[in-house]
Amino acid sequence: TIDSGEAHVVTFGQTYDTDPADLWDAVTNIERIPRWFLPIRGDLTLGGSYQLEGHANGTVLTCDPPKNFTATWEYGGNVSWIDVSVGGDGPDGARLVIEHIIGVDDEIWREFGPGAVGMGWDSMLLGLAIHVGTGASIDPSFGQQWTGTEDGRRFLTLSGEEWHTANIASGEEPSAARALTDRCIKAYLGEE
């Protein structure tokens, strides 16, 4: 349990042109997750653990199919938590809401601010939108290559700037937010 004031919560919400059952399957099916994100292994049931290839690992803490699950998100020696919800959005849509909960003492947050988490999720959700919208699978190496293209660099820069705006709106002092954002964008672009 995390008490109020002891964590940062970064929230993402996106609507997809699919039904909630399909969206739930896309974000919880171990066979489907690699089609839009990274290869994954493990047990995605209550109490099970997972490992995203070359990235985070964690444990499934709660699961209420087809609506919600929570899990730890362990990466770079830090532990944070994700709360993932799927629901209907109009007659033909489904909405995904992800809350990524990070402790106030998290080293990455202190160095890069919300963009460290936000820019990564923005990229992942772009992959999910392509997969759900087209049915296509995305090779993880494509994402790494794409971020080096002009379009990829622009996407990451715009994402970082949106997280800069959100950081100020949440109360961060503007010059501190600017420094965090600049470091974060440079890190994502491989310039630092």
Give the whole-angstrom CA distance, residue 16 versus residue 6: 32
* Secondary structure of the chain in HEC code, one letter for each residue: CCCCCCEEEEEEEEEECCCHHHHHHHHHCCCCHHHCCCCEEECCCCCCEEEECCCCEEEEEEEECCCEEEEEEEECCEEEEEEEEEEECCCCCEEEEEEEEEECCCHHHHHHCCHHHHHHHHHHHHHHHHHHHHCCCCCHHHHHHHCCCHHHHHHHHHHHHHHHHHHHHCCCCHHHHHHHHHHHHHHHCCCC
Q: Does domain 7-188 have CATH number 3.30.530.20?
A: yes
Residue 3 has pLDDT above 80, yes or no: no
pLDDT category of residue 156 using cuts at 50, 70 and 90: very high
Give the whole-angstrom CA distance, residue 76 versus residue 41: 18
Q: Residue ranges per domain, the chain?
A: 7-188
Chain position carrying tokens 């709106």: 169
Residue 1 has pLDDT above 80, yes or no: no
Tell me which amino acid residue 138 is: I
pTM of the entire structure?
Answer: 0.91
For residue 25, the model assigns a pLDDT of 98
When mean pLDDT is compared across 28-37, 123-132, 141-150, the lowest value belongs to 141-150
Query: Residues 98-125: pLDDT tens digits?
Result: 999 998 888 889 999 999 999 999 999 9
